[in-house]
Structure 1
Amino acid sequence: MTGHPKKRADKVVCYGELGCFEETAYLEMLPSPPEEIDTKFFVYSAKHRSEKPILEFFYDEIAKTNNGTTPPPPTPAPTQSTTSKATNGTTPVKHRYAPQKIFEKFGSLENVTARAIIHGFGSSCTHVWVYEMRTALMAVEDCIVICMDWENGATLPNYVRAAANTRLVGRQLAYLLKGLEEHNKLNMSRVHLIGFSLGSHVAGFAGMELKGLQRITGLDPAGPLFEAQHPHARLDDTDAGFVDVIHSNGENLILGGLGSWQPMGAVDFYPNGGRVQHGCSNLFVGAVTDIIWAPPASVEGRSLCNHRRAYKFFIDSVAPKCLFPAFPCDSYENFLKGECFSCSRSENGTESSVCGNMGYYADRSIGRGQLYLKTREEEPFCAHQYKLEIQSSPNELPLRTLGRLEVELESDGGLTEVFTITE
């Protein structure tokens, strides 16, 4: 008589106000303890322009998460600690639990717009793109910008561990925002979360915990371990009142795709088809070597170039004159053929626009669903979209033509740019 193997009991770990976390079928790993991730927040204000934050603090200063508890065995209890590992390998730094002190420093946020930036794998709040994004945001709006730094939980090379940590880090962000709502009168209808790569899913997990969250922008949400999973296991259009997503590297992983192709928002933008960007490579070897070896400040690698275009598009889009009009279409191929170019749709005798505007102003246009557009190959990436039709004289004889067709566009300022129509 043959016995049936017993299913291994799912491991569970609990961390105070953050709740419990289970190993899931698609991700057999628990998140790291909060004291190991050592999440830190940097706060900037448009009213106090400076490269230095007006406020910086660790998560454990606003919440006691060192007293980890677990259900009955076999899961071992997480290590109890009142210290965290310093990022430079020096003596561990002790943090003090003083939430009232932190919230008092924020002051009243009753009529304040708050935007939070969440980085991805192998990154931190010290990266140049974070500086560029927060500077751009504060240049066009009187707001505060919070950068959530979970570098210790997103370090190379363990991507699986970083993916597991997104759940815990998302709840940490939600806990902070709930605290600001309670103590500082922050209105969730004025809160916008902006996540890149794994940070997109962190924003999604935070949104699941927040009622009335205004908006989440996902910048090329990480694909590996998230694409095709249940909506509760990734960024989803129900995580906020409005969720917009920019897909820049949704190619298959074996071809170097680091982002997700799957629609995850109320509106999903696919610049240049959303898989590979102009001037970037899609080589698998590029993806692997770039992730492992490319220094943060180095020239962009072959695959990271595609992935990083998402946040570059968004940063460009903050400037009011740098628009990214996008068109609804059933495929990028048909968009290139000009079959979906018009923004006007007639319904019941009424003309209306169905196009969207990729990036910062996406919530101000009515376009929804999957939208396509082309961009320039270099900064600024925004550009007007033109449809060009070339009609040739009919000829019954089989003719072979040599050469190629190019079009030169000249602006009012005398600037010109050449586009190749046929190779």
Structure 2
Amino acid sequence: MHLGFGDGSRVGALVHTVLYLIGVPIFLNNHDIHLNEGNQTSLETYSASSENSNLPDHCYESLGCFTIRYPERKGYNMTPNLLEEVSPTICLYTKVHVLACQVVENEAITSEALAVANGRIFWIAHGYIENGQRPWIKDLVNALLDYDSFANVFVVDWSEASKPPYNQAVENVEMIAALCAHLMVMLQETYGLKVNETHFIGHSLGAQLGGYLGSWLQQERGLQLGRISGLDPAQLYFQGMPIDARLDPSDSLFVDVTHTDAKPFLYGGEEVSFTTPNMRPISGLGTEEPCGHADFYPNSGKDQPGCKDGVYQAILQEEGSVINGTLPNFIFLLLDGCDHIRSHEYFTESVTSVCPFMAFSCESWEDFASSTCTNLSSRNRMGFHATKPTLSGNVTTSEANNSSVIYYSQTGPRAPFCREHFRIVIQLAEESKYRSTSELHLVLENSSGESTVLNLGNIDFTGKDLVRKYTVSGVYVGFPKTVILRPSSSNPLRWLMTRITPPIDPDVVVDSITLRHLESMESEVTFCPDSKNFLSTTEQNPSIIFTSDNC
């Protein structure tokens, strides 16, 4: 049984969106499932007024004080909301109670059903203008419980504290993180849910929340969080900040980060630079700089495949009410947020996917795409099954715990997103003047007749270099028996003209194509042309067929 979704009203969503964007708050409760059901996390343990009326505002017993601590974040200078005004709801889901929110109040779970003893422990936190009822969170909860039926999955709904304006939400993050950390300690003492075996998964601002949480546990309780998975951590007001003001490797025993929206963020149509007053360079909605032990940059970490297919189509994919889907997605999409949300889509798929989501360490994205990495054997699985890298050489424990290894990979444009990788080496027989006007495809066909298509993109074969190298990805159907090189489309007008005038010389002549499947690291195999070795756009259906038997 899985968590359900509300259908909601698209008309109501549109009205709410317009009013919200102009600053009129309206809250519609048209959800099929409520994570809070009217129950809010009790603040009696933390409220300054309930324990010590002499405590100043924003100071709480057991949590600490929260003020403006980072003057580097210029331009807003906002203090956090009072905790009692933005109290989060923390729900526990188990396989038995996948539909029922067991609300965590202080150290207690307000249900007869308790946490699963000795079960895995996961915490999930959303980002800006989201909440714990988002479809992606429910999908992730279901995936985790499908993977481990004994798991305990806690969902942090801090929607009251993550509302606009953005700078206010940023200032609330540390306070919410301290509350969550304190509850983790209480749950360890009450139910034996060990902090050092807890896996925190946060998206955007939720990832930065995880960083504060891990830091609080170390500084205030001397405990280390087991793992933090940062899904495109929020970048504005975090990138370039000191490590105590953002997610970094020291916040947990293992920190893995997936970057999917690390591209220029514009202010007034102009890209921010270090010389911009009170501003730092911003890279999209997600942070660009490495901030984990393992940092993954699928598709360069910037533009994700399928995210240019249109805003309308992406909105239609978000069924549900305003708060459930349309409003957050609408705003994210206005900011090109499709790339930003790909991080949690990849992670959720990776939990139960047979496809490994393999990524490879390389000097740069350009080297990875051109298959010129020095050591492709250094690799890691992106997402749920990522592991902490083991550094070689003479490195200290401190260096090993605070160093980052960068990995690159490619994904597909739509779910299932996982793809497997191939190293392609094309050996030209002579210099060429060919620039493909359409995508060039490599079709791999196995002995059973199954095939997969690898997209080489728009290729420029001009120049004196006769050896061209590429890293491409596709669905793996076993090692191929036959390889076919062909354009994705032919030019019928040009073919018709050559029926009238003499044909021109071949566009490209190929000696061989060498292939290696990177996931299996099988030995590379060379394929040679079957009958003809040239490709010409003057042909009606231009292609070259290769087999390994011809070499």
Which category of TM-score, normalised to the shorter sequence, fits these structures?
Answer: 0.7 to 0.9
* Aligned counterpart for 1:52 among listed residues 93, 100, 106: 100
**Contact kept? 2:238, 2:246, Cα under 8 Å:** yes
Alignment of 1:206-217 (within 5 A): 206-210=213-217, 211-217=223-229
1:380 match: 416
Among all aligned residue pairs of Structure 1 and Structure 2, give the percentage whose two residues are the same amino acid: 30
2:441 match: 406
Q: Which runs of 4+ in 1 moved over 3 A?
A: 101-110, 296-300, 364-368, 398-404, 409-418
Per the alignment, in what secondary structure is the counterpart of residue 17 of structure 1? coil
Say if 2:221 is the partner of 1:221: no
Distance 1:402 1:115, change over 3 A: closer
1:239 match: 251
1:144 match: 152
**Contact kept? 2:254, 2:388, Cα under 8 Å:** no
Which structure has the greater CA radius of gyration? 2
Say if 2:65 is the partner of 1:20: yes
**Contact kept? 2:362, 2:376, Cα under 8 Å:** no
Give the TM-score normalised by the residue count of structure 1.
Answer: 0.76
RMSD over aligned CA atoms reads: 2.8
Distance 1:132 1:401, change over 3 A: closer
Letter in 1 for 2:230: G
**Contact kept? 2:89, 2:103, Cα under 8 Å:** yes
Deviation at 1:300, TM superposition (A): 7.2
- Gaps spanning 5+ residues in structure 1: where? 1-10, 63-98, 284-291, 345-353
**Contact kept? 2:436, 2:458, Cα under 8 Å:** no
Deviation at 1:416, TM superposition (A): 3.4
Per the alignment, in what secondary structure is the counterpart of residue 387 of structure 2? helix
**Contact kept? 2:299, 2:410, Cα under 8 Å:** yes
Give distance in 2, aligned partners of 1:341 and 1:281: 32
Say if 2:70 is the partner of 1:43: no
Distance 1:413 1:33, change over 3 A: farther
* Residues 366-404 of structure 1, C-alpha deviations (whole Å, 9 max, x = no match): 586011111111111111011111111134xx7455555
* Residues 186-243 of structure 1, C-alpha deviations (whole Å, 9 max, x = no match): 2123200000000001111111122131100000000000001000001110111000
Deviation at 1:35, TM superposition (A): 1.1
**Contact kept? 2:200, 2:228, Cα under 8 Å:** yes
Give distance in 2, aligned partners of 1:163 and 1:299: 17
2:354 match: 321
Distance 1:323 1:365, change over 3 A: farther
Per the alignment, in what secondary structure is the counterpart of residue 206 of structure 1? helix
1:204 match: 211
**Contact kept? 1:248, 1:310, Cα under 8 Å:** yes
* Aligned counterpart for 1:185 among listed residues 192, 195, 200: 192
Give distance in 2, aligned partners of 1:366 and 1:409: 35
Give distance in 1, aligned partners of 2:445 and 2:332: 31
**Contact kept? 1:317, 1:360, Cα under 8 Å:** yes
Give the TM-score normalised by the residue count of structure 2.
Answer: 0.59
Give distance in 2, aligned partners of 1:400 and 1:339: 23
Deviation at 1:417, TM superposition (A): 3.2
Residue correspondences, number:
351
Distance 1:108 1:337, change over 3 A: closer
Say if 2:82 is the partner of 1:33: yes
Letter in 1 for 2:151: C
2:287 match: 260
Distance 1:263 1:364, change over 3 A: closer
Per the alignment, in what secondary structure is the counterpart of residue 155 of structure 2? strand
**Contact kept? 2:389, 2:405, Cα under 8 Å:** no
- Gaps spanning 5+ residues in structure 2: where? 1-55, 218-222, 272-282, 311-322, 392-403, 460-551
Distance 1:108 1:198, change over 3 A: closer
Deviates more, 1:192-201 or 1:247-256: 247-256
Deviation at 1:323, TM superposition (A): 1.4
